[in-house]
Amino acid sequence: MSQAISANNIVKKFQLSNHETVTVLNGISVTADYGEFVSILGVSGSGKSTLLKCLSSLMVPDNGTVSVNGLDPYALKDSQLAKFRRQNISMIFQSYNLVPELPVFENIILPLRLAHKKVSKEEVTNLLRKMYFEADINAFVHTLSGGEQQKVAIARTILAGSQLIFADEPTGALDSASRQVIFDLLKQLSRQGKCVVMVTHDIELASETDRSLILKDGQIFMELHHPNASDLYAALRTDKR
């Protein structure tokens, strides 16, 4: 497998309102390969989402280096970075990042239109059917439930066809049946050679990934290859001490 992501000694700090700084990431080094599904776990505040943003070109680290497809995304100009993201990266956000003024279908195909790629309505409807999506494809997204909005965001990411997929709690608003379906779709993409990096609190799903990174105090506390649920529960219990 070829390497998709390489990060070395990432440090990220945030300024607090009282002029103090908090170090959220403290010297993290990590790699991920194409064909690999990596999960990131940890208690709230351990730096999971911040790490995902630094790896995915959305947040510049204060120190350290990030390489995506052999390039440093933070060395690119804004226009170059936008093009790089369109061609290489898809992101599933906790906040969904949908366009409320557009209906479901237009939200899903927006990355395809921006990349001047072919749009297939049949492909969109087939994917939504697999995801147990029940709303009208022509409905405006602001009228949907949180779970249905999350499915729209995930469908948009899957159909974009990117080789790198970053997912921040992609199943958080879903029922158990839908959660497993979405996870299986992401896992299938990794088996097709894509690199999937997922932040999650769901230990059962994380136990089905290729590798789990347990974060604690802004560092990688433990790394588990082919994790099982028992080991993950034990690692997170140790993390809380």
The structural domains of the chain, with segments of one domain joined by +, span: 3-239
According to DSSP, the residues that pair with 23 across neighbouring strands are 13
Most confident residue range from 110-124, 166-180, 207-221: 207-221
Query: DSSP E strands: which ranges in the chain?
Result: 3-15, 21-33, 37-41, 63-68, 89-92, 164-168, 195-199, 211-216, 219-225
pLDDT digits (tens, 9 = 90+) for 55-114: 999 999 999 999 999 999 999 999 999 999 988 999 998 888 999 989 999 999 998 888
Instruction: Categorize the per-residue pLDDT at 240 as very low, low, confident or very high, splitting at 50, 70 and 90.
Output: low
pLDDT of res. 135: 93
Task: Give helix then strand counts, H and E, for the chain.
Answer: 8, 9
Summarize the confidence of residues 138-164 as an average pLDDT. Answer: 93
pLDDT of res. 16: 84
pLDDT of res. 19: 81
- Mean pLDDT computed over every residue of the chain: 93
If one compares 160 and 19, the residue with the highest pLDDT of the two is 160
pLDDT of res. 118: 87
- pTM of the model as a whole: 0.92
| The domain over range 3-239 is classified in CATH as 2.60.410.10 | no
Instruction: Categorize the per-residue pLDDT at 239 as very low, low, confident or very high, splitting at 50, 70 and 90.
Output: low
Tally of residues, the chain: 241
